[in-house]
Structure 1
C-alpha cells in the first residue's frame, strides 16, 4: 500500500497493492499498521456506501463541524468520480484551496480527507458506487455544506454539463458565510 501526500496538508492518496491472476484480483483497502507507520492514527467507526444512478450527480461540498468532525477514507467501487477536498481550517496557509482526483473502480485509488476539510464528488459515469470509512458517527445537527461552485474556492469540476444536485447542495452557503468552526492546528 502506497500512501502519498498531496499539496494539502493532511490529505493523502492511498494506492493499494492489487494482486491478480487468471481468477481475478485481491487488495487490502485499509490496513491499520500501514497507516500507523505513516503516523495516521485513525479509529474508523462507520462505513458508508452511496449509489448515484446518473452521470453528472454532484454531492458536496459536505462536512460535519466540531465536535463531530469526520476523517474520511473514500473509494469508488463502481464507475468513476472526481473527488474533491477543500481546506476549511481557518488560519491554514491553504484555507479555501482544493485538491481533486479521479477515483474509479478501475484505478482503485482512495483519498484520505481529514477533519477540517469539506468533501464532494461528481460522478463521471452512470451507476456509481462510493464507499467510505469515517471516524465519527453521522450527526445531523452538525452536518454542514458549502456551495459546490463557490467562486472563492474555484473547484474546476471536469464537466461542462449542469450537475444534478440535491436541494441541500443547491442552497448551500458560500465559504465566507458557512458555519465553520475549524482552526488550523486543531488536530
Structure 2
C-alpha cells in the first residue's frame, strides 16, 4: 500500500498470479492494511455497483461522526476512481486525486472518513465493490457536484456523462461549505485517533 497526496487515502497494488486457469490475487490483507493505515480494516457493509460506460457516481461523503471509510476495488472492467478532500481545515482541502482501478490489476483504493469519493465507468458493466466501515444511513449521506468548476476534476471526455438525479442536483463545494454539511479535518483525525489524546471510536 502506498499513500496518496491526500492524507487518509491509500492505494494497494497486489501481486497478480496468472496461469492457464486464470488469475489469483489477495484483495485485502488485514496485517498489511493495519501496518500502513494504523488500524485493522473494520468492514460493516459490503456494496456492489454495476455501471454503464460514462456513468459518474459521486462525489459522495457522510457526516463525521460517524463517518464512513471505504475500501474500493473494480472486479470487472475499469473505472477512474476519484478521492476529493472535503475536510474543512485540511492542508489539501478542495484537492482531488484520481486512480485507475481495473479488474486485471486488482488495484484497490482506501479512503478514510471524511473524504469524498466518486468514479467514472470507463467500460460497460464496470463492477465496483466497496467495503464500508459503517452501514448506510440516508440522513447522513451527502454529495458534492462532480463537475464543480472549483474542483475541476479531469473526468474522461469521450462519452456523455450519466448521473443520478441526486448527483446532478448536488451542491458545489462552496455551497456545501455554506450549508455546513462538510466534515472538519480535526473531527476526522479525532475519529481515527490521530490527534494527541484521541482514541479511535469506529
TM over 0.5: yes
The CA RMSD over aligned residues, in Å, is 1.3
**What residue number does 1:45 align with?**
44
SS in 2 for 1:81: strand
Q: Is the 8 A contact 1:18 1:26 kept in 2?
A: yes
Match of 1:98 in 2: 96
Aligned length: 184
- Greater shift, 60-69 or 86-95, is seen at 60-69
Correspondence for 2:182: 180
Query: Partners of 1:34 and 1:166 in 2: how far apart?
Result: 36
Q: Helix, strand or coil: the match of 2:90?
A: coil
Matching residue of 1:35:
33
Indicate yes or no: 2:114 matched with 1:116: yes
Contact 2:62 2:142 in 1 (8 A): yes
1:40 & 1:130 partners in 2: Cα distance? 25
TM value normalised by structure 1: 0.93
Q: Any conservation in 2 of the 1:68–1:137 contact (CA below 8 Å)?
A: no
| Runs of 4+, deviation exceeding 4 Å | none
Match of 1:81 in 2: 79
The structure where strand makes up a greater share of residues is 1
Task: Summarize deviations over 1:85-143 as a string: whole Å, max 9, x none.
Answer: 00011111100000101111112111111111110000011111100101111110101
In structure 2, the residue matched to 1:161 is 159
TM-score (norm 2): 0.87
Using the alignment, how far apart are the partners of 1:116 and 1:67 within structure 2? Answer: 9
Q: 1:31 Cα deviation (Å)?
A: 1.1
Hey, what's the Cα distance between the residues in 1 that align with 2:158 and 2:124?
A: 16
Alpha carbons 2:61, 2:143 under 8 Å: kept: yes
Q: 1:55 is matched with which residue?
A: 53
Summarize the Cα distance change of 1:126–1:91 in structure 2 as closer, same or farther, 3 Å threshold: same
**What is the deviation of 1:181?**
2.6
Q: 2:143 aligns with which of 130, 142, 145?
A: 145
CA distance in 1, matches of 2:110, 2:123: 22
Q: Which moved more, 1:39-48 or 1:28-37?
A: 39-48
Quick check: 2:46–2:129 contact (8 Å CA) kept in 1?
yes
Contact 1:65-1:180 within 8 A present in 2 as well: yes
Distance 1:39 1:169, change over 3 A: closer
Alpha-carbon distance between aligned partners in 1 of 2:15 and 2:38, rounded to the nearest angstrom? 18
Q: Which residue of 2 aligns with 1:22?
A: 20
